[in-house]
């Protein structure tokens, strides 16, 4: 029995990957939930908004790299992030003015807006592919590892290695800073409060003199920030490919539904729930169990509940189960 090795293996292959994936999903889900809460529709163009923001960040990263600007050991992409956010915000505000505003004025039903957002999704899809193509792009630079598996093994003398990528640490730190800032903004600032008021009861908010256009604009601005950060972190940690970002829509929607659409706290919790379920259910537990149980009980099989190909099935099942049995989600408030 060797609990220490088991713990390290668990940490290395389950906890750390799931935590960084969860953080990336959580930021994405925050954006979806915010748009749902305030603009009252599910934004299907979200995955492609993330892809667009990341595309701009990648272009700026390349520009900085060619100019020789670097903030090593941190990735150059961090420096490019504000530019990506600015361009994405312009795109989202432009889309709102050109498309969504029309339907809002008509007081169109949410389902119509959902279909409209699907149309926007296809257009953004095209824009991203025209700009950067369909190929995979790697734009991570700077220090690759905070702690490499080999170093860890040499240092502790354990059989199992523990690796922490620089981008994983960066993801977690950035995610918590972003979330903290967002919660502070929503709870403490005047604009944040007016957004929450608008979300709770639109008519009452209008009566108390809140400017709806301003609320909508600020929402899109925050959405741009969240989309670009989530996309960039995912791209840095894994890699960028437009089609993958489109596919991220499913786990992100699952995350925001689990937490309760419209609830920022729920989005964060949902992100981690979805990520951990995906990883835990598709992980082969053989190694960890072999360390923990007496030798005679060591398993022959892989102890894997689902093949790794079924990752998306996990998100999808969560989505359906929650909608069937708990349609408001964990933190949802509306009936």
Where along the sequence are the contacts to other proteins (CB under 8 A)?
A: 12-14, 17, 21, 136, 138, 148-150, 152-153, 161-163, 165, 234-235, 238-241, 243-244, 278-279, 282-288, 302-304, 307-309, 311
Across 152-287, where does the E strand assignment appear? Answer: 164-165
Q: CA separation (Å) from 95 to 56, 88, 90, 183, 263?
A: 17, 10, 8, 26, 25
Tell me how far, at minimum, the Cβ of 144 lies from other proteins, in Å. Answer: 8
CA distances (Å), origin 266, targets 128, 136, 150, 282, 324:
30, 32, 38, 24, 18
Q: Closest distance between other proteins and the C-beta of residue 270, in Å?
A: 19
Question: Closest distance between other proteins and the C-beta of residue 147, in Å?
Answer: 10
Nearer to other proteins, 104 or 238 (CB): 238
- In this structure, the number of other CB atoms found within 10 A of the CB of residue 129 comes to 16
Nearer to other proteins, 59 or 310 (CB): 310
Q: Work out whether the CA dihedral 70, 71, 74, 78 comes out positive or negative.
A: negative
Nearer to other proteins, 146 or 210 (CB): 146
Residue 211 CB neighbour total at 10 angstroms: 12
From the CB of 302, what's the least distance to other proteins, in Å? 6
Select 51 or 116, whichever has its Cβ closest to other proteins. Answer: 51
Q: Shortest Cβ distance from residue 308 to other proteins (Å)?
A: 4
248 in helix, strand or coil? coil
Q: How far is the CB of 253 from other proteins (least distance, A)?
A: 18
Residue 247: other Cβ atoms inside 10 A:
14
Stretch (H or E) spanning 146: strand 145-147
Cβ 4 to other proteins, closest distance in Å?
Answer: 16
Nearer to other proteins, 3 or 325 (CB): 3
Nearer to other proteins, 203 or 300 (CB): 300
Q: Of 128, 119, 111, 234, whose CA–CA distance to 171 is shortest?
A: 234
Nearer to other proteins, 32 or 314 (CB): 314
Bridging pattern class, strands 145-147 and 164-165: antiparallel
Distance from C-alpha of 158 to C-alpha of 146, rounded to nearest angstrom: 18
Max intra-chain CA distance, the chain: 72
């Amino acid at each position: 029995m060797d609990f220490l090795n088991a713990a390290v293996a668990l940490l290395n292959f389950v906890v750390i990957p799931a935590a960084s994936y969860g953080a990336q999903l959580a930021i994405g889900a925050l954006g979806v939930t915010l748009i749902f809460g305030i603009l009252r529709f599910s934004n299907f163009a979200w995955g492609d908004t993330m892809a667009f923001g990341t595309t701009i960040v990648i272009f700026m990263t390349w520009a900085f790299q060619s100019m020789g600007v670097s903030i090593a050991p941190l990735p150059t992409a961090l420096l490019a992030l504000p530019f990506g956010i600015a361009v994405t915000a312009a795109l989202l505000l432009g889309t709102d003015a050109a498309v969504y505003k029309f339907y809002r004025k008509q007081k169109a039903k949410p389902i119509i807006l959902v279909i409209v957002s699907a149309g926007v999704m296809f257009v953004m899809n095209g824009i991203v592919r025209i700009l950067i193509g369909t190929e995979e792009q790697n734009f991570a630079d700077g220090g690759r590892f905070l702690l490499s598996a080999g170093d860890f093994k040499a240092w502790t003398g354990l059989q199992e290695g523990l690796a922490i990528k620089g981008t994983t640490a960066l993801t977690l730190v950035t995610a918590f800073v972003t979330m903290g800032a967002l919660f502070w903004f929503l709870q403490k600032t005047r604009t944040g409060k007016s957004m929450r008021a608008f979300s709770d009861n639109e008519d009452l908010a209008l009566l108390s003199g809140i400017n709806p256009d301003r609320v909508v604009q600020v929402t899109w601005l925050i959405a741009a920030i969240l989309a670009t950060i989530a996309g960039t972190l995912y791209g840095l940690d894994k890699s960028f490919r437009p089609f993958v970002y489109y596919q991220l829509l499913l786990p992100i929607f699952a995350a925001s539904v689990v937490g309760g659409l419209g609830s920022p706290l729920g989005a964060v919790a949902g992100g981690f729930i979805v990520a951990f379920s995906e990883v835990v259910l598709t992980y082969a537990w053989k190694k960890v169990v072999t360390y923990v149980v007496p030798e005679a009980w060591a398993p022959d099989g892989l102890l894997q509940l689902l093949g790794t190909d079924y990752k998306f099935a996990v998100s999808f099942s969560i989505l359906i189960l929650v909608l069937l049995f708990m349609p408001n989600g964990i933190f949802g408030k509306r009936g």
